[in-house]
Amino acid sequence: MHNERKFTIAEAAQPFVCGGSSAILATTIIHPIDLTKVRLQLARELGKKPETFPLVRETLKNEGIKGMYSGLSAAWVRQATYGSARIGLHQSFSNFLMKRNEGESIPFYQKNISAMAGGAIAVCIGTPFDVALVRMQSDGNKPPELRRNYGNVFNALLSIIRKEGVLTLWTGLTPNILRGMSMNVGMMACYDQAKETITKFTKDPDSLTTRILASWAGGFFCAFLSLPFDMIKSRLQNMRADLKTGEFPYKGVFHCGMRVIREEGFHRLWTGFGAYYFRCAPHTMIILLTRENIRHKYREVFGITETTM
């Protein structure tokens, strides 16, 4: 009876453990690209041009290699919470819907519903760590007098609560939810759909070719659909009150988006798309490819067979 309960818990935890592990690995590898993306999005607020290579050169010159990994502790904790929930919930919801569909593949609209629900719930859990991550990544790009100088993710969270209040940890929640939903649609729903379509030609859903092509499609749609919300989220989470007036530059999601469009142009919502795409695509591919290997090993360790999936 004990073993049966153990395997039941292990089976339920599998999507979260495997998804979270692959997300942490992927984040560690692509963190310098993510940092570059955030600094590109915030460059105009500091009177700088959002140019990728000059920004990277400046970061390396002023902060060294270590500077490219600013905020990595926050990124790890964020993926352990948000990443695990986003991937795990989608897989759990999809499995539930497939059981209701008698084991057959679910239609694309149900994949989207599963992805959006998982993304929205995960964002509510992970936003505090996202706020800390954005601030830590952008700090080194600011003048010394404007830097927050957080020591690590937990120091950042405690400092924000003490100085700005606990609700500040959920700054940018609305655009973050929209970003999480759109990102999960691109990464998970579009990946699942692309994998089904590609398999018709490759005849093997588990082949490396099938998984790489499906991952590439997922990475593209993940980046294209979510970047505008990511841009708005970054600006809301990084904003601070004017020293003279005490007013914040943005009043909310709509105001921030309209101000960017009005003052900088509609296309600026996709600022840093190159860096963001080369962040999303490798991140997505690493997660989806390593998740399969981690899942196989996980099943071996806990004795979970294909029929119990």
pLDDT in tens, 27-66: 999 999 888 888 887 888 777 878 888 889 989 999 999 9
Q: Residue 291 corresponds to which amino acid?
A: R
pLDDT of residue 168: 92
Give the DSSP letter of residue 140: T
Residue 218: closest CA among 272, 275, 287: 287
**Which band of pLDDT confidence, cut at 50, 70 and 90, is reported for residue 306?**
low
Is the Cβ–Cβ distance between 43 and 55 less than 8 Å? Answer: yes
Average pLDDT over residues 278-296: 84
pLDDT of residue 169: 93
Q: What number of CA atoms fall less than 13 Å from residue 150's CA on the CB side?
A: 26
pLDDT of residue 309: 41
**Comparing 3 with 172, which gets the higher pLDDT?**
172
pLDDT of residue 288: 82
- End-to-end distance of the chain based on CA atoms, in angstroms? 20
Q: What percent of the chain has pLDDT over 90?
A: 37
Q: Is 305 helix (H, G, I), strand (E, B) or coil?
A: coil
The pTM of this model reads: 0.74
Is pLDDT of 2 > 50?
no
Is the Cβ–Cβ distance between 187 and 218 less than 8 Å? Answer: yes
Give the separation between CA 176 and CA 181, rounded to whole angstroms. Answer: 8
pLDDT by residue (tens digit) across 241-267?
Answer: 887 888 888 888 889 999 999 998 998
CATH superfamily of 2-308: Mitochondrial carrier domain (1.50.40.10)
